[in-house]
Structure 1
Amino acid sequence: MIEASFTTADLPARERFEGWHELACRVLIPTHVRCDDEADFEASVLLRGSDTVQLSSGKVRSFHAERTQKLVRQSDPERYVLDAVRTGSAGISQGDQETTLKAGDLVLTDSSLPFRARHRTGTHETLAVPKALLPFPAAEMAPLMARGLPGDTGIGAVLSHCLHEAVRPGTRYRAADILRLLDIATELLTTLLAHELHTLHALPPESHQQALLARIQSFIHHHLADPALCPQAVADAHHISLRRLQQVLATAGMTPATLIRRKRLERCRRALADPAQSARTIQTIAARWGFTNHAHFTRLFRTAYGMSPSEYRAAHSTLVREPARALHE
């Protein structure tokens, strides 16, 4: 797991705004920023995440940010960035959409498109998720960009709470717990977006199919430990035929069995890299996630990750890194 913290208090006053800006560009996406009073600028950031998904919590003074078309051409990490406003206020525009945000609101932006933002002094949490992790085409996501999403009711409230827990200072969560919370946050974001897409307008059939795909993926994610999980069980849970299930997943380039196997392997991979589970045998971990044949599991794992489970565990025994106290160095 990656964990790091930053505070402008560690820098000379004349370097604080520039130091924070450099960090923000590396952690999130490159932008141009300006501040009305750089000499009085203060910020603190806590970052937690993996090589795939990163979550940061920050307290900053007021600033303005702009991501231009030139910056997009120069560097595009292909991410969606979700911002949760805790205190203060913000405004953001992307494409034809512009919105003003208050405490409790959520907003999503696309790193592949220019945007403008202004943040008033306050705290916020920011989740950066690769586009490939969300099962919606960019064209369908476009109406949700820079559009205020509810963060104090329904699914949005659960997501907001999950984000807050994952970056709460002084938490007693283990590294593996933080990674699980980020998994849950990504699934909740998928569910929230599927819900919002349905409420925008009467969607074409392909959009409903994408929402069904998101529900199927979420169901599989939450039932991986169930030994009875199989393609037919997934189809039954969604009141569709097995053939319909296969058709839906085919749009994402996979079969039901492949998706279940891939997600179970990923769970095993994380468990093998978790120092807190070092006392558990590889066979126990495999069985925990539905692999009852150890030889078969070993072959699948080697094919997926290029090494055996025991080799992977040995190579990642020091995966969890100590917090870095100064990201700017």
Structure 2
Amino acid sequence: MIETVFDSERLPVGERFASWYEMTRHALISTRVRSEDAADFRASARVIGTNTFQVSTEVVRSPLRADRTAKHIRQSDPEQYLLGVIRTGTHGFSQRGREATVGVGDLVLFDSSQPFRACYEGGAHQMFFLPKAVLPLPATEVAMLLATPLSGRDGIGGILSQCLREILREPAPYRAAEIIRLFDIALELLTTLLAHELHALRTLPPESHRQALLARVHTFIHQNLGDPDLSPQTVAEAHHVSLRHLQQLLATADTTPASMIRRKRLEQCRRALMDPRQSRRAIHAIAARWGFTDAAHFSRLFRATYGASPSEFRVAHESLVGGTTGGPRE
């Protein structure tokens, strides 16, 4: 588990704002940060996470504006979704031409691959960072919910909000393996929340049928990854469309049926190899669990995708889990 802690009160006044900028650039995401109180900047933060997920809690006592520009994206894009959870205060966010003012209990979603602005007048918020690839919903549909206030006070949003709060509880009551499981739960809750919100939106746009089919295809593939017989043809048949129609549908999301199945299976295997609870589980068993029937073929695909064999990846991750640091992640 990786941890970063920052408190401006521990630094000389003249170093606080610059140190905050460096911390957020390394541990969170690169933005252009400005504050009218830079000379006496006051803020604190704690970031905890794995190589896949991070969650932060930030208390900003000075007015602050953070802009992620096209230049930042060209220089470095982690290809993440960022989910903000407002704990105190009122904050402003904008992306894709939408502007939202969010208050206590609200949730708001961003895409790291598109410019955005966040304005804080003072208050506390948490941020959940996750790779876009692990969210089993079409990016074209998720884009409809960016910079849009979502409720985190009750229902699924409320459970998600509480889950993220638990990950950051102090003193930390959870072991690394339990925090990894909480991250998995947070992903499932976020998927459910967004799918619920999108269901309400799909009745509005003219192309709702295509969008709904795309969402069903994503969900079907995600739910059946462990079936070794899952294939583009079986996906097409399950949705009563031709294979050609399915290929055309997924081309709008810049992928193919086979590529989507392979990518999602590899991602599930990668997450399993990072899970301390599965450290004694044979790699070929993990591969088979997610539909790979040929261990050698799986190993070649994994290395081509992640730059290391499954066993090398597991060993490298095990050396990180359990270690913490008080400084920024490199």
Could you tell me how far apart the structure 2 residues matched to 1:318 and 1:328 are?
15
Query: Are 2:176 and 2:322, in contact at CA under 8 Å, matched by a contact in 1?
Result: no
Letter in 2 for 1:323: T
2:120 aligned counterpart, secondary structure? strand
Alpha-carbon distance change, 214 to 59 in structure 1, aligned in 2, over 3 angstroms: farther
Letter in 2 for 1:146: A
2:128 aligned counterpart, secondary structure? strand
Letter in 1 for 2:32: T
Which structure 1 segments of 5+ residues have no match? none
Alpha-carbon distance change, 130 to 202 in structure 1, aligned in 2, over 3 angstroms: same
Which structure 2 segments of 5+ residues have no match? none
Query: Are 1:187 and 1:218, in contact at CA under 8 Å, matched by a contact in 2?
Result: no
| TM-fit CA distance, 1:126 | 0.9
| TM-fit CA distance, 1:325 | 0.9
User: Which residue of structure 1 aligns with residue 33 of structure 2?
Assistant: 32
Could you tell me how far apart the structure 2 residues matched to 1:232 and 1:290 are?
15
Letter in 2 for 1:117: C
User: Which residue of structure 2 aligns with residue 47 of structure 1?
Assistant: 48
User: Which residue of structure 2 aligns with residue 63 of structure 1?
Assistant: 63
User: Which structure 2 residues correspond to residues 1-329 of structure 1 after superposition, within 5 A?
Assistant: 1-26=1-26, 27-36=28-37, 39=40, 41-50=42-51, 53-67=53-67, 75=75, 77=77, 79-94=80-95, 96-111=97-112, 112-121=114-123, 123-129=124-130, 135-137=138-140, 144-169=145-170, 170-175=172-177, 177-179=178-180, 181-182=182-183, 185-186=186-187, 188-197=189-198, 199-200=200-201, 202-205=204-207, 208-225=209-226, 239-241=239-241, 243=243, 245-320=246-321, 322-327=323-328
Query: Are 2:47 and 2:54, in contact at CA under 8 Å, matched by a contact in 1?
Result: no
Letter in 1 for 2:20: W
| TM-fit CA distance, 1:57 | 1.7
Could you tell me how far apart the structure 2 residues matched to 1:250 and 1:142 are?
17
Alpha-carbon distance change, 229 to 325 in structure 1, aligned in 2, over 3 angstroms: same
Taking only aligned residues, the RMSD between alpha carbons, in angstroms, comes to 3.9
| TM-fit CA distance, 1:322 | 1.6
Query: Are 2:107 and 2:152, in contact at CA under 8 Å, matched by a contact in 1?
Result: yes
Could you tell me how far apart the structure 1 residues matched to 2:273 and 2:143 are?
38
Could you tell me how far apart the structure 2 residues matched to 1:66 and 1:58 are?
13
Query: Are 2:180 and 2:275, in contact at CA under 8 Å, matched by a contact in 1?
Result: no
Letter in 2 for 1:327: P
Count matched residues: 322
Letter in 1 for 2:120: R
2:139 aligned counterpart, secondary structure? coil
Could you tell me how far apart the structure 2 residues matched to 1:72 and 1:269 are?
28
1:322 aligned counterpart, secondary structure? coil
Could you tell me how far apart the structure 1 residues matched to 2:97 and 2:310 are?
49
Alpha-carbon distance change, 222 to 2 in structure 1, aligned in 2, over 3 angstroms: farther
Percent identity at matched positions? 48
Which stretch has the larger CA shift, 128-137 or 78-87?
A: 128-137
Letter in 1 for 2:139: F
CA deviations 1:166-199 (Å, max 9, x no partner) are 3334141425x54454455455545544544554
Query: Are 2:80 and 2:129, in contact at CA under 8 Å, matched by a contact in 1?
Result: yes
> What TM-score comes out, normalization by structure 1 length?
0.76
CA deviations 1:206-241 (Å, max 9, x no partner) are x553454344334433443456755576567x7544
